Amino acid sequence: MKAALIKLHIAIFLWGFTGVLGRAIQLNEGLLVWYRILITVVSLFVLMKWQNELEKIPFKTMLQLFGIGAIVALHWVCFYGSIKYANVSIALICFSSSGVLTALLEPLMTKKKMVLIELLLGLIGIAGIYLIFHFDTRYRTGIIVGFISTVLSVLFSILNKRTVASVSPKTIMLYELTGGLLMLSFLMPAYLHYFPTTKYVPSSFDWGWLLLLSWVCTVYAMDLSLQALQKVSAFTQNLTLNLEPVYGIILAFLVYHENKELSEYFYIGFVLILAAVSLQMFRVLKLNKH
C-alpha cells in the first residue's frame, strides 16, 4: 500500500506541473489537448511496439476504453479552459471537489457502501472551493469550467477502477488516449467554429513544452497512477488528487507569481483542502495497519 501511495503522489506532482505548462503553451485549450494526446499516442505506440508490449484486447473492452478516453480528453479540455478563464491556481483548486463527488458517485456506480467519514472529508474540500467562488467573482467562469473538469475526472477514475485488474496499465493508456484522440479529431471542426483561434500550429517553444507534457506528465504519470489504482480505492485516489493544487499552486506562485492575484479567501480554502487530504491519508494508513 505504501508503494502505491508513493507512486500516486509522484503522479499527482507531475499532474500539478501540467497547469504551469498549459499556461506556457500558446494554443487554445482544444488544440493544446489534441496535440498532447497525438504526441502521447504516437510515442506510446512506438515504445510498446519496440518493447513488444502491444496487447490485443476484446472488442467490447476496447470500446469501453475508448469511451473512458473520451472522458479524459474532455476533462483536459475543461481543465485548460479553466486556466484560460481564470488562472493555474483556480483551475487546480477546483479538484478540491473530487472527494465529495467520488463519495457520492462511486457507491451509485460500483455498489460500494457509502462511508460517512469519506463524505464529511469531501465536504471539507468543497467548502474550500465555495469560499473562493462566493467571495471572488472574477474567477466564477473559470471555477464552473474547472468543476466540470473535476466531475469528468471523477467519472474517469471510477470507470478505470473496473479495468485495471484485467488489462495492463500501458495498454489501458494507449486505448483510452486513442479513443480521446478520435473523439477530439471528430469534434475539432465544430469546436474551432465556436471557439475560433488564430494559431493552429505550435511554435518551437510550444513543441518543447508539449513533448514534456506528453512524455513525462502524461505517459509516465498516468502509468504510475494506474499502477496505484490497483491497490487504492477511487475515493482515496481522488481525495489525494487534492494535493495536485498544492503542488501546482506552489509552482504557479514561483513561475507566474499568481499569489499577487489571489484574495485571502483563496488561502482559507487552500488550508481546508490540505486538512481534508491529510486526514484521509492518515485514515488510509491506519486502516491498512490492521
pLDDT digits (tens, 9 = 90+) for 125-154: 788 888 888 877 888 899 999 989 989 998
Helix (H, G, I), strand (E, B) or coil at 160: helix
Say what the alpha-carbon torsion angle 6, 10, 11, 14 is, to the nearest 10 degrees: 170
The answer on pLDDT for 77 being more than 90 is yes
Distance CA 77, CA 6 (A): 28
150-182 pLDDT, tens digit per residue, is: 899 989 888 887 776 667 778 988 999 999 999
The answer on pLDDT for 290 being more than 60 is no
What is the arithmetic mean of pLDDT over 2-26? 89
| Residue ranges covered by each domain of the chain | 2-287
216-228 pLDDT, tens digit per residue, is: 998 899 888 878 8
The answer on pLDDT for 88 being more than 60 is yes
224-264 pLDDT, tens digit per residue, is: 887 887 787 766 776 676 677 778 888 999 999 998 888 88
List of residues 6+ apart from 2 with CB closer than 8 A: 285
Q: What is the pTM of this model?
A: 0.85
